[in-house]
Amino acid sequence: MNGGAPVPGASITFTMTLPNGSAATYSATTNRKGAATWNYRLSSSSPTGTYSAVAQAALTSTGQAGTKAVTSNTVTFSVQ
């Protein structure tokens, strides 16, 4: 969002879609190093199949730029 430089204070929304179609979301704010994380733990009752996860970031500027937004590539993984 800033030419590859870390951006503190950006709003991040993580979304994970479960194999049964339900979604889990988590909101975070980037730290001073521009990083935000979400730890999601599967349980023994979590559905098997393919999960997908994506992150969306937004930063509102007080200058002329307004709000900048970006979406990550979608990551998938399988649970058996």
Parse the chain into domains and list their residue ranges: 11-37+48-79
Residue-wise pLDDT tens digits, 40-59: 999 999 999 999 999 999 98
Residues 64-69: what's their mean pLDDT? 76
pLDDT band of 68, cuts 50, 70, 90 = confident
pLDDT at 1 over 60: no
Instruction: List, in sequence order, every residue forming a beta bridge with 15; answer none if it has no partner.
Output: 25, 54
Residue given tokens 């007080």 in the structure block? 62
What pLDDT is recorded for position 4? 75
Residue-wise pLDDT tens digits, 3-23: 678 889 999 999 999 999 999
Locate 76 and state its tokens: 């998938």
